[in-house]
Structure 1
C-alpha cells in the first residue's frame, strides 16, 4: 500500500495530465504483465511493432521484468495538461545520467529482476548498461518513437478523444461534488481519505509506504486495468519526481451529458481541452478548425451543462473550463 499525504496545500495542486508517450508505455507494460487484459488486435499490433522494429531493449525495460517495475524515466513528468510527443521523447533522451543509473540499478537489483536463474536480468539490458546511461536513454527514446509511429500513431485521435473525454467527466464530478468524490471513483484500488491518497496493491503481502508530497498528477490510461503509482522517491533520490497516479479510463457512457442528453463527445472534448485558459469563440474556431457558428453551438451546450463558464470583458465574451475556478487547476 502506498499512502501519499498531500495536506491542504498539496490538494490545491492536484491536477490531471496526458501524453502520447504514456499510452505507449501502458501498452508495453500491459503486453508484458497482463496480455490477457488487452484486446487480441492490440496484442498482435504491439508484438508486430516490437518484432519488426527489433525493439528488444524497449520491450525489456518497459515490460517491468518478472517483478513488475518499469523504470519511471520512460514516463516523463508532464509540466502541463498535455506533453507533445516530440517534447516527451526529448525528455526521455536527455534524462540525467544519475537518474538513469538510479532507476536501472534498482531494476536489475531486485525491483524488476533478481539474482536467481529464473529472474536474472537479460543480457540485452546488461550490455546496454555497460555502454553507459546516455546510450540507454537515447536508445530507448529512439525505440519508443518507432514503436509509437508503428503501433499507435493512427489510433491516437480516437485514444486522445477518449482520454480527454474522461478528464472532462472527472472535471464535472470535481465541479459538482469535490475532489474526494472524483478520486474515489477513479479506480477500485485508489481512495482519498483524510487528506491523503492511498493506492492499494492488488497482490497481498506488499509493504506499506508513506510519503509526503506537495502535489500529485493523475494520468488516464486506456490500457491500465487498475491504479498504479510512479514517483515513490526515498530521500536522496536524484531528480525526484512528483507522485503520478495512472488510472483506467471509465467506459464511454461515463462521459457527462448536457441537459438535452447530448454526449460530451470528441468535438466538445477538444473544446474543453482548449479552454484551460480563457478564449473567445473566434479563437476557438481557429484553433480547432471549425466555423464560429459550430463552436458557438457546442459552447452553449457545455455552458448549460456547467462545464464551462463565460465572462464578459468590454465587448468580448470569454469562455473557460469551469474547473479552472477550483483549487485543482
Structure 2
C-alpha cells in the first residue's frame, strides 16, 4: 500500500493533468506486462509500431519487468494541465543523470528485474547504459517520439477529448460533493481516509511506502482500469518529483482507432467528411439533404464523443472535425 499524507497545503496542491507521453507509457506497459487486456486493434497497432521502427529499448524499459515496474522518468511530471508531446519528449531527453541512475538501480536490483525472480536485466538495457545516462535518455526520447507518432498520434484528438471530459466531470463532482468524495470515486483501489490518500497495490505485500507530500498530480488514462502510483519516493531521492497517480478515465475501455468508433455510422461518417472546415448545422443539413433537426441530433452525438469541436461565431454555432477523426 502507498500512503500519501496530505496536510492543508498538500490538499491545495492536488491538481489534474492530461499527458500524451503518459498515455504512451500506459500503452507500453500493457503491451509489455498485460497485452491480453488490450483490444486487438490497439495491440496490433502498438506491437507493429515497436517492431516496424525497431524500438527495442523503449519496449524493454517501458514494458516493465516481471513485477510490472517501469522507470518513471519516461513519464515526466506534467508542468501544466495539458502538456504537448514535444515538451514531454524534451523532459525525457533532459532527465538528470542521477535520476536515471536512481530509477534504473531500482528497476534492475529490486523493483522489476528482481534477482530472486530468475529474470536478469535485459542485455539491451545494459548495453544502452554503457554509453552513459545522457545518451540513454536521448535514445529513449527518440524512440518514444517514433512510437507516439506511429501508435497514438492518429487517435490522440479523440483520446484527449475524452480525458479532458473526464477531468471536467471530476471538477463538477468536487464542486458538488467535495474533494474527498471525488478522490474515493477515482478508482477502486484509491481511498481517502483520515488525511491520507491510500493507493492499494495488487502487490501490497511488496510495495509499502508512506510519503508526506505538498501536492499530488492526478492524470486520467484510457489504458488502465486500476490506479497506478508513479514517481513518489522517500526523502533524499535525487531530483525528487511530485507523486503522480494515474486513474482510469470514466468508462475506460481502451478506445479503438477513431474510424472504428462505435458511435460512427454511415450518416455520421458523411457529416465528418464535410467537417474538414467549420460549418453550421444549417449548411450541413443543406449539403446532405437532411432536416436541420436531424443534422443537429447527429452533431450533438459526435460532439459528446469528442470527435468534433463546436465554436460560436456571431449568431452561428460552427462544427469542425478534430484532426484524425476520419
C-alpha deviations, 1:14-36, integer Å up to 9, x for none?
Answer: 11001111110000001111112
Change (3 A) 1:193 1:146: same
List aligned pairs for 1:65-80, cutoff 5 A.
Answer: 65-80=65-80
Task: Answer yes or no: is 1:265 the counterpart of 2:287.
Answer: no
Q: Distance in 1 between matches of 2:33 and 2:64?
A: 8
Identify the residue that residue 87 of structure 2 maps to in structure 1: 87
Q: What SS does the corresponding residue of 2:247 show, helix, strand or coil?
A: strand
Q: What SS does the corresponding residue of 2:115 show, helix, strand or coil?
A: coil
Q: What SS does the corresponding residue of 1:198 show, helix, strand or coil?
A: strand
C-alpha deviations, 1:125-179, integer Å up to 9, x for none?
Answer: 0001111100110000000000000011110111011101111110110011111
User: Aligned pair count?
Assistant: 272
Identify the residue that residue 322 of structure 1 maps to in structure 2: none
Change (3 A) 1:88 1:293: farther
Query: Which 4+ runs in 1 deviate beyond 6 A?
Result: 267-271
Farther off after superposition, 143-152 or 27-36 = 27-36
Q: Distance in 2 between matches of 1:252 and 1:212?
A: 30
Identify the residue that residue 62 of structure 1 maps to in structure 2: 62
Does the Cα contact within 8 Å between 1:11 and 1:215 map onto a contact in 2?
Answer: yes
List aligned pairs for 1:6-21, cutoff 5 A.
Answer: 6-21=6-21
Q: Distance in 1 between matches of 2:92 and 2:34?
A: 25
Change (3 A) 1:44 1:252: closer
Q: CA shift at 1:80, angstroms? A: 1.2
C-alpha deviations, 1:68-88, integer Å up to 9, x for none?
Answer: 211111011011101110011
Does the Cα contact within 8 Å between 1:163 and 1:249 map onto a contact in 2?
Answer: yes
Compute the TM-score of the two structures, normalised by the length of structure 1.
Answer: 0.78
Q: Distance in 2 between matches of 1:206 and 1:38?
A: 26
Identify the residue that residue 172 of structure 1 maps to in structure 2: 172
Identify the residue that residue 184 of structure 2 maps to in structure 1: 184
Q: What SS does the corresponding residue of 1:238 show, helix, strand or coil?
A: coil
Does the Cα contact within 8 Å between 1:230 and 1:243 map onto a contact in 2?
Answer: yes
Task: Answer yes or no: is 1:232 the counterpart of 2:232.
Answer: yes
Change (3 A) 1:136 1:180: same
Q: Distance in 1 between matches of 2:189 and 2:199?
A: 6
Q: What SS does the corresponding residue of 1:121 show, helix, strand or coil?
A: coil
Q: CA shift at 1:268, angstroms? A: 11
Change (3 A) 1:141 1:187: same
Q: Distance in 1 between matches of 2:85 and 2:34?
A: 25
Identify the residue that residue 276 of structure 1 maps to in structure 2: none
Task: Answer yes or no: is 1:291 the counterpart of 2:321.
Answer: no
List aligned pairs for 1:71-150, cutoff 5 A.
Answer: 71-115=71-115, 118-150=118-150
List aligned pairs for 1:35-46, cutoff 5 A.
Answer: 35-46=35-46
Q: Distance in 2 between matches of 1:236 and 1:295?
A: 54
Q: Distance in 2 between matches of 1:43 and 1:15?
A: 31
Identify the residue that residue 51 of structure 1 maps to in structure 2: 51
Does the Cα contact within 8 Å between 2:66 and 2:117 map onto a contact in 1?
Answer: no
Identify the residue that residue 216 of structure 2 maps to in structure 1: 216
Q: Distance in 2 between matches of 1:106 and 1:270?
A: 44
C-alpha deviations, 1:200-233, integer Å up to 9, x for none?
Answer: 0123523431110011010000001200101221
Q: Distance in 1 between matches of 2:229 and 2:314?
A: 42
Q: What SS does the corresponding residue of 1:78 show, helix, strand or coil?
A: coil
Compute the TM-score of the two structures, normalised by the length of structure 2.
Answer: 0.78
Change (3 A) 1:252 1:91: closer
Does the Cα contact within 8 Å between 1:164 and 1:269 map onto a contact in 2?
Answer: no
Change (3 A) 1:266 1:12: farther
